[in-house]
Amino acid sequence: MVWKGKWVQLSLTMVLSFMLVLSGCGSSNNTAAPEDPKSDGGTGEPSENAKSQIEFMGWGGDTEKAVFQKLIDSYMKKNPNKKVKYTVVPPAEYYQKLDTLIAANKTPDVFYAGGAHFNKLVSSDVLLNLESQLNSNSDVNPDNVWKQGLDRYRYDGSNVGSGDLFGLPKDVGPWAFAYNKALFDKAGLPYPSAKAGEYTWDDMVADAKAITVVNERGKIDTFGVAGYSTESAVWANGADWLDPATGKITIDTPEFAEAMQFVADLSLVHKVSPSPDDEKAQNAYARFVAGKVAMFPMGPWDQPGFWDLPFEWDIAAWPASPNTGKTATWLGSLGFVVSKKTEYPEDSFALAAYLSLDPESQKENYMLGQAVPNLMDMAKGEFLDMEKAPQTRQVFLDIIEDYGRPPVEVTSKNTKWLDTFWQDASQVWTGKKSAAEFVKEEQPKLQKLYDESNK
């Protein structure tokens, strides 16, 4: 009899220790378990005011976290029955964390997604189709939202921009061309034009040469330009990385090579831009902030950092290619998406719509220098009239409406090919290979990588 009792004891202890081991990884999930919606109305259908708890996951630094916490608090105040649990993850770990949660069937209800990752999530059937809710929700007016932003979250499995809606834009991020007014004044040069097509590559190189200063040790102290966008050069010159319709990598064209060489030559030949070695020593951002770079790209999110600068600055249109007379740049975007497995589809959509499109939250966002408003009337109205730099805010809107393009990765599900391109491109930036040689050698390699994971 004693023996039997021991067995009970033994198995009990084993179960307990088993639970102990497991609790290490499981404890955090208990708090996240949403309350049962059925307990509220008893009808099975969550009514308008039913209690719910939504998990919202995003990334960002302290500023972004503070902004979103504020927005969420005001949302919860307006909707006392809707609880939102906000989790912030450092940007570098975000997709790792998200994908692990999805794999573990613990997908947050609302979260950030964008670019190639968004396409992959739609293709893997992780996201909720928002099309019907967009049309039925009376609070949302899609006609007042940048089409360029909204269309980024339409995906039919192969084309971005067509098909149903799977997300709402968190922001539209025009990659603009900033310049240091003080350095232009010092060199006695007129400022670059804010109108697309007026200021060309040649103008820029001439200005950059006039501004660049070499110190007594033979090192360049002040650079004319830094971080020049390769995408802008390539697109302005009429080339592209990829033809999404056929899936062909198109980097081996003369136009592409010429544009890439132009960017490389800014440092290699003209010596007006930091070389990769210079970049290693001090990155271009730090140099611009220190007043040692005259022209430098920026996104709207850079505004708060630049507001504190001791010199005046503004934004201009990206220089146009003399061959085409056109210019281009990328228009980034990140979106709010909803998990297909959410228990509260309506409430999740409502939260995403609030964060994306509520006038109050949009105002808060642009006042803090986080983004251009998603609402067109606001962007074209009060946003343009804002007191703070940059003065010619219209450039941001021009990029959105006119010459901004989705980043290269947007048409891919897997970006390995593009990552490889950037890795290998260092041979061109350092002058080891000419751009023409490089693109010819690189094309087959990228084509293979693209085909493997995107078809």
Residues that bind another protein (CB under 8 A): 2-3, 6, 9-10, 13-14, 17-18, 20-22, 96, 99-100, 102-103, 120-121, 124-126, 219, 276-278, 280-282, 414, 416, 419, 422-424, 426-427, 453
| Residue closer to another protein, measured from CB, 10 or 32 | 10
Structural tokens at position 276: 């990769």
Q: In the complex, what is the shortest distance from the CB of residue 82 to another protein, in angstroms, rounded to a whole number?
A: 28
The whole-angstrom separation of Cα 169 and Cα 149 is 6
Q: Which is nearer to another protein, 154 or 287 (CB)?
A: 287
Q: How far is the CB of 17 from another protein (least distance, A)?
A: 5
Closer Cβ to another protein, 311 or 422, answer by number:
422
Write down the least CB distance from residue 38 to another protein, Å: 28
Which residue lies nearer to another protein by CB, 127 or 295? 127
Q: How far apart are CA 19 and CA 385, in angstroms?
A: 60
d(CA 450, CA 46): 45
- C-beta separation of 294 from 225 below 8 A: yes
Pick between residue 277 and residue 387 the one whose CB is nearest to another protein: 277
* CB nearer another protein, residue 81 or residue 283: 283
* Distance of closest approach, residue 57 Cβ to another protein, in angstroms: 16
CB of 106 to another protein, least distance (A): 12
Query: Six-digit token pair at 331?
Result: 């228009």
Dihedral of alpha carbons 376, 59, 298, 241, sign: negative
How would you label 70-94 residue by residue, b for 16+ Cβ within 10 Å and e otherwise?
A: ebbeebeeebeebbbebebbeeeeb
Exposed / middle / buried, residue 432 (Cβ in 10 Å: 0-12, 13-18, 19+): exposed
Closer Cβ to another protein, 82 or 292, answer by number: 292
Q: Which residues pair with 404 in a beta bridge?
A: 329
CB of 288 vs another protein, minimal distance in Å: 17
Whole-number minimum distance, CB 452 to another protein, in Å? 8
Distance from the Cα of residue 240 to its chain's centroid: 20
Specify the amino acid at residue 69: Q
What's the CA gap between 445 and 421, in Å, rounded?
9
